[in-house]
């Protein structure tokens, strides 16, 4: 109320005609009245400052407590202060930002590599093979090397078929089957004689056996869980250098590669160095589990860091059959076919698929009524255009299973059920090698596509 009265008096003074005559006096009177009549408002809430001050002090004390705990724990203190600098080559602490970074990640990587190597090396063997070479000048012997993986403590070893089966010939020489196989174990100077239990050229796998027990079997992983970019180590016997490891990553999975005989492989690609002699060795993950069998590398001018391994999960059943039957019993349709090329499809009006050139007598195909010139377009609902695609689906089935083939006969689509039989010991089964057979094309058959260089032409099959 006191302030309100003062304001009213000032307004009255300002509105007084006498004061308006002299604006300067009017302003000075206003300032004097303002100074004399206005008083500073009183603090009606003395606890307001304490409500701000107490939380502030509490926050400061809490921050000090937290910092004290952090600096009291060495691991936390090191992370905050970067107190472990990297030393320069002269042994002095570097001053740059890079030099003060911790190398804990590199240290962990090194520990992973060493622990994996220690676990895997006792399970990988060196293989030495002796061959007889016949030439115009007589006979001589030659040796080759490879690697293998111990799969049981009683002496079973898995390797590549091309490691132990390198028979070849031309007009100048002939190489016979292996006449002797020696196995070298980790940290063991003794060489052990090995015998071939079974081999399979289609999957490029073979099983050997040595007369020794108490071996360290490799831990088998699940190659279906392999991811691109994860740690990978190749272990083997490159160039005769026993127990060599090389590290890298998984570069790709489910990579399709084909050899010069038409065999198609689904492989794991890695940049871990794979050299001659690594074939048959192990590709392992960060847990020391085998995820693949090193098979080959891509080499040539400007090519580096491209190697392939057979996924270990795809070998399990094959290895068991090789141990039990000495061969792989695969389901059998009983046809010889070729792929319908684009040019043949256009020229003859054929639909893309597998053209049947021959039906084996008394085969499942013959019993089901398949005929020459039928074109298989689907198997169990899966579209197929090549023999490889047909085999990929067929080989997932078992002997005795019934498969449904969709065929084109005389321009009409039909469904045919075929009960798969067992592949005969000697047969021209529907394997990719048949697709490279050169024959004179007949007017009523699709023109054969000439064999072209494949990615495997650059591979060295002598491991």
Q: Name, in order, each residue with C-beta under 8 angstroms of 440's C-beta and a sequence gap of 6 or more.
A: none
- Whole-angstrom distance, CA of residue 407 vs CA of residue 415: 6
How far is it, in rounded angstroms, from Cα 302 to Cα 157? 35
Is 279 a residue of the active site?
yes
Provide the pLDDT for residue 135: 79
**What angle, 0 to 180 degrees and rounded to 10, lies between the N-to-C axes of helices 2-15 and 23-37?**
170
C-alpha distances in Å from residue 345, one per residue of 55, 340, 374, 445? 85, 6, 14, 11
User: 338-345 — which CB contacts under 8 Å span 24+ positions?
Assistant: 338/387, 338/434, 338/435, 338/446, 338/448, 338/449, 339/385, 339/386, 339/387, 339/435, 339/449, 340/375, 340/385, 340/446, 341/446, 341/447, 341/448, 341/449, 343/447, 343/449, 344/446, 344/447, 345/446
- DSSP of 36-76: HH--PPP-S-TTHHHHHHHHHHHHHHHHHHHHHHHHHSHHH
Asked if domains 121-210 and 223-325 share a fold, the reply is yes
Judge: domain 121-210, CATH 2.40.10.10. yes
Which of these is catalytic: 123, 128, 251, 279?
Answer: 279
Stated as kind and residue range, the H or E segment containing 384 is none
| C-alpha to C-alpha distance for 352 and 259, rounded to whole angstroms | 23
What predicted TM-score, i.e. pTM, was given to this entire model? 0.66
How many residues does this entry show for the chain? 463
Question: Would you say 362 and 387 are in contact if contact means Cβ atoms under 8 Å apart?
Answer: no
The Cα–Cα gap between 81 and 102 comes to: 11
Which residue among the candidates 128, 162, 251, 374 is catalytic per the annotation? 162
At 89, is the secondary structure helix, strand, or coil?
coil
Q: How far apart are the first and last CA of the chain?
A: 107
Radius of gyration for the chain, computed over Cα atoms and rounded to the nearest angstrom: 41
- What are the pLDDT tens digits along the chain (463 aa)? 555 555 555 555 545 555 454 554 555 555 555 555 545 555 555 555 566 667 777 777 777 777 766 666 565 555 555 444 444 444 444 454 444 444 445 667 788 999 999 999 999 999 999 988 887 777 788 888 999 999 999 999 999 998 998 656 666 667 777 789 999 999 999 999 999 999 998 899 999 999 999 999 999 999 999 999 999 999 999 988 889 999 999 999 999 887 666 667 889 999 999 988 999 999 999 999 999 999 987 666 666 778 999 999 999 999 999 999 999 999 999 999 988 888 888 888 888 999 999 999 999 999 999 999 999 999 999 999 988 889 989 988 999 999 999 999 998 999 999 999 998 865 444 444 333 332 223 323 232 233 333 333 333 333 3
For residue 172, the SS3 value is coil
Q: Work out the angle at residue 342's Cα, subtended by the Cα atoms of residues 337 and 346, and round it to the nearest 5 degrees.
A: 105
Q: Coil, strand or helix: which one is 432?
A: helix
Instruction: Give the model's pLDDT for residue 288.
Output: 96
- Residues 6+ positions from 388 with CB-CB distance below 8 Å: 258, 262, 264, 432, 435
DSSP 8-state symbol, 242: S
DSSP class of residue 323?
H
As beta bridge partners, residue 446 has none
Phi, psi of 362 (to 5 degrees): 60, 20
Active-site residue, 204 included: yes
Nearest partner of 163 among 420, 461, 370, judged by Cα: 461
What CATH number labels 223-325? 2.40.10.10
Which residue intervals of 82-122 are DSSP H helices? 104-120
Give yes or no for a contact between 377 and 404, defined as CB atoms under 8 angstroms apart. Answer: no
Q: What is the number of other CB atoms lying within 10 angstroms of the CB of residue 4?
A: 8
**C-beta separation of 280 from 301 below 8 A:** no
The DSSP line for 203-240 is TTEEEEEES--S--PPPB--GGG--TT-EEEEEE-GGG
* Catalytic-role residue among 204, 242, 259, 374: 204
pLDDT score, position 302:
66
- Which of 41, 279, 47 is closest to 163 using CA atoms? 279
Note if 123 is an active site residue.
Answer: no
| pLDDT confidence of residue 437 | 31
pLDDT of residue 448: 29
Facing residues of 257 across strands? 265
Element (H, E) at 2: helix 2-15
Beta strands in 154-298, from DSSP E residues, in sequence order: 156-159, 168-169, 173-175, 180-184, 191-200, 205-210, 231-236, 244-258, 264-270, 282-284, 290-297
- Give dist(CA 194, CA 129) in Å, integer: 10
CATH code given to domain 331-453: 2.30.42.10
| Domain range annotation of the chain | 2-37, 49-102, 121-210, 223-325, 331-453
């Amino acid at each position: 109320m006191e302030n309100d009265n003062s304001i009213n008096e000032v307004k009255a003074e300002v509105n007084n005609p006498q004061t308006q005559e002299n604006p300067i006096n009017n302003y000075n009177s206003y300032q004097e009245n303002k100074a004399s009549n206005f008083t500073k408002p009183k603090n009606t809430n003395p606890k307001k400052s304490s409500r701000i001050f107490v939380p502030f002090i509490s926050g400061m004390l809490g921050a000090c407590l937290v910092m004290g705990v952090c600096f009291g724990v060495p691991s936390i203190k090191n992370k905050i202060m970067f107190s472990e600098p990297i030393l320069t080559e002269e042994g002095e602490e570097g001053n740059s930002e890079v030099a003060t970074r911790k190398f804990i990640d590199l240290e962990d990587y090194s520990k992973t590599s060493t622990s994996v190597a220690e676990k895997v090396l006792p399970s990988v063997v060196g293989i030495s093979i002796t061959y007889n070479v016949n030439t115009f000048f007589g006979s001589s012997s030659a040796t080759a090397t490879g690697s293998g993986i111990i799969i049981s403590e009683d002496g079973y070893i898995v390797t590549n078929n091309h490691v132990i089966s390198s028979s070849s010939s031309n007009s100048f020489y002939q190489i016979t089957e292996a006449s002797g196989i020696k196995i070298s174990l980790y940290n063991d100077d003794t060489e052990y004689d090995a015998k071939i239990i079974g081999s399979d050229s289609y999957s490029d796998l073979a099983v050997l056996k040595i007369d020794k027990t108490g071996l360290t079997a490799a831990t088998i992983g699940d190659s279906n869980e392999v991811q691109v970019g994860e740690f990978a180590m190749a272990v083997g016997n490159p160039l005769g250098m026993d127990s060599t490891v090389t590290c890298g990553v998984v570069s790709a999975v489910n990579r399709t590669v084909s050899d010069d005989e038409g065999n198609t492989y689904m492989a794991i690609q890695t940049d871990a160095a794979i050299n001659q002699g690594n074939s048959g060795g192990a590709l392992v993950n960060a847990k020391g589990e085998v995820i693949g069998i090193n098979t080959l590398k891509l080499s040539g001018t400007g090519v580096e860091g491209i190697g392939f391994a057979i996924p270990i999960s795809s070998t399990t059943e094959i290895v068991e059959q090789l141990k039990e039957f000495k061969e792989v019993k695969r389901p059998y349709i009983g046809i010889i076919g070729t792929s319908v090329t684009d040019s043949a499809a256009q020229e003859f009006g054929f639909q893309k698929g597998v053209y049947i050139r021959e039906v084996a007598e008394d085969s499942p195909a013959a019993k089901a009524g398949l005929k020459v010139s039928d074109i298989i377009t689907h198997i169990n609902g899966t579209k197929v255009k090549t023999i490889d695609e047909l085999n990929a689906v067929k080989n997932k089935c078992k002997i005795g299973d019934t498969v449904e083939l969709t065929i084109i006969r005389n321009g009409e689509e039909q469904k045919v059920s075929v009960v798969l039989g067992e592949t005969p010991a000697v047969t021209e089964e529907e394997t990719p090698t048949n697709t490279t057979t050169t024959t004179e094309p007949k007017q009523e058959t699709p023109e054969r596509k000439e064999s072209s260089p494949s990615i495997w032409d650059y591979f060295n099959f002598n491991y």
